[in-house]
Amino acid sequence: MDQHNDLKIVVEIESELMPIVPEFLENRRKDCDRLEQFVESADYASIRTLGHRMKGAGGSYGFDHISELGELIETAGLAADRETVVAAQARLRDYLDRVEVVYV
């Protein structure tokens, strides 16, 4: 097991976003589950749409990495690239498990 998997990823977020960040992150966890379902049914149009939404929303909340993964998922959805979607979903889940929000 990679020893880095236990390291926290600290993200500084403006304190005004405190009321909405927990729900935002919970919705991204739900997106991980949705991605699994979409991959199982080979629903690449829904994968692309979900990735596009994540790409747009992540940076708005201060989570640039979520936007980067969203772009990767969107592109993989367009290409019907199952392996990349699965890998990006795993990276997103790992990120969500390790992210620690610090409000400034």
Mean pLDDT of the chain: 94
| Domain around 34 | 3-103
- The residues with which 100 forms a beta bridge, in sequence order, are 10
59: domain CATH number? 1.20.120
Domain count, the chain: 1
pLDDT digit string (tens) for 9-19? 999 999 999 99
| pTM exceeding 0.85 | yes
Q: How far is the C-alpha of 30 from the C-alpha of 51, rounded, in Å?
A: 13
Q: How far apart are the first and last CA of the chain?
A: 33
